[in-house]
Structure 1
Amino acid sequence: MNGDDWLVDTRTSYDTVAVSYADQIGGVLAGEPYLRAALALFAELVRDAGGGPVADVGCGPGHVTAHLHGLGVDAFGIDLSPGMVDVARRDHPGLRFEVGSMTDLGLADASVAGLLAFWSLIHVPDDAVPTALGQFRRVLRPGGPLLLGFHVGDGSRLKTQGYGGHPMRVYVHRRQPDRVAAWLRDAGFTVEAQMLLDLDGSVPGAALFARCGSMRA
């Protein structure tokens, strides 16, 4: 894959499946108590850090953004796919959603109190992850919490179909928590905690909690 082809493929794929995806995962959090617990902890960390706007980066159809809003968090969503953003605005009309890329966030420095990337780094190739994490650190306020959720494992696979049988072309990357934690530290974050999820399932998950330090001089 060359240059930013993965961005084009990801945007096109999720534009194609946006409506079907939203229909399939709309109520997923209701059956995921550990994910809800992780989100509740994240919301508490945001409040303890002083509160303020929180970016849900790679928000998809906005279900997690809406859940955070229900927890009292001033959450807004950003997604690469205009189709996903359209669906998020349709389903959650009272919330803010915008199109954007995690590798080039259109947010001011130190402008958000917290940032969430919940299973949205899974399509980002290894060589672009440091860029995304650098953007996360740039826009987070010093002391602001970060929550990353991702598939645990090794290797990548090309997904060519999904969510109602629609064609897709996205690579799905599985990663070990230690590797993601090392990337976070290299980007200037302090890693505070991790949760491992569905350990006996076919695709385990992880949630890493980190905190943004002061910007380097």
Structure 2
Amino acid sequence: MTEPAVLRDTRAAYDAIAVHYAELFSNILETLPMERAMLAAFAEVVRAHDAGPVADLGCGPGHVTAHLHALGLTAFGIDLSPEMVALARQAHPALRFDEGSMTALDLPDGALGGILAFYSIIHTPPWQLSAVFTEFHRVLAPGGHLLLGFFAGDDPVPREFDHKVTLAYRWSPDSLMELLRQAGLVELARLVREPHQGERPFQHAQLLVRKPTRSRRVTTPQWAPC
């Protein structure tokens, strides 16, 4: 099967800036108290349910994977970029990091107690995101949790913006949550904050959702561009 161009382009873009990205962002959580709070809440509910390990999808240089491990989770990272994976393995040799794509995870059904997608869906075209969330639902165990971080806005239609690495999208939390519901996931909590000084002038959002213990995935139409 031919690999979609968006995956090739995103991999190449992150391979090219991997070292610089790691230098800029490996300590970024120290400046993000609200994100740390959501990660702590995510870790607590995942530990309480004890349904399996946590995959940090789009893990980059592994700094958030390591943070999850420090919070008491059995965490491993997956990233599309082999350069990012190499840096993550070098920085955190005790943890597991693999190459892979969110669109087709090399994991059995129900294998995970949790998924973290920390600003890693932002490059996924809107019409492909439903398939990604269906894949998340597949690999989550019943009762498993997903924490999703993304750039937000009020417009119900996802909007492109010129990300410094490659083309990206902003979503309203309500629109993104509707796609998650269609995939069979239910909302537990959300956080929306205003940008800090020096950040892009966009809101930042987190959605914490759960796969029900009795799955009732809805097969409604997927997002289609206008």
Q: Could you tell me the TM-score, scaled by structure 2's length?
A: 0.87
One-letter amino acid matched to 2:181: R
Aligned to 2:29: 29
Question: By how many angstroms is 1:51 displaced?
Answer: 5.0
User: After superposition, where does 1:43-62 map in structure 2 within 5 Å?
Assistant: 43-62=43-62
* SS in structure 1 at match of 2:141: coil
CA distance in 1, matches of 2:29, 2:194: 14
Of 180, 184, 191, 1:184 maps to: 180
CA distance in 2, matches of 1:171, 1:142: 34
Q: Which runs of 5+ in 1 are unaligned?
A: 163-167
Aligned to 1:108: 108
Aligned to 1:173: 169
Aligned to 2:160: 156
Aligned to 1:12: 12
CA distance in 2, matches of 1:196, 1:158: 21
Aligned to 2:127: 127
Question: By how many angstroms is 1:157 displaced?
Answer: 2.2
* SS in structure 2 at match of 1:121: coil
* SS in structure 1 at match of 2:142: coil
Aligned length: 207
CA distance in 1, matches of 2:42, 2:193: 16
One-letter amino acid matched to 1:15: D
CA distance in 1, matches of 2:162, 2:32: 26
CA distance in 2, matches of 1:200, 1:181: 24
Q: Could you tell me the TM-score, scaled by structure 1's length?
A: 0.91
CA distance in 2, matches of 1:176, 1:73: 29
CA distance in 2, matches of 1:21, 1:27: 11
* SS in structure 2 at match of 1:141: strand
CA distance in 1, matches of 2:195, 2:112: 32
Deviations 1:77-112 (A, max 9, x none): 000111110010011111000000000000100001
Q: 1:79 to 1:179 in 2, by over 3 A?
A: same
Aligned to 1:72: 72
CA distance in 2, matches of 1:135, 1:19: 29
One-letter amino acid matched to 2:55: A
One-letter amino acid matched to 1:182: E
Q: Which runs of 5+ in 2 are unaligned?
A: 218-226
Q: Percent identity?
A: 47
Question: By how many angstroms is 1:192 displaced?
Answer: 1.4
Q: CA RMSD in A?
A: 1.6
CA distance in 2, matches of 1:100, 1:204: 28
Task: With a CA cutoff of 8 Å and minimum separation of 6, indicate the structure with the bigger relative contact order.
Answer: 1
Question: Could you list the runs of 4 or more consecutive aligned residues of structure 1 that deviate by over 3 angstroms after TM superposition?
Answer: 214-217
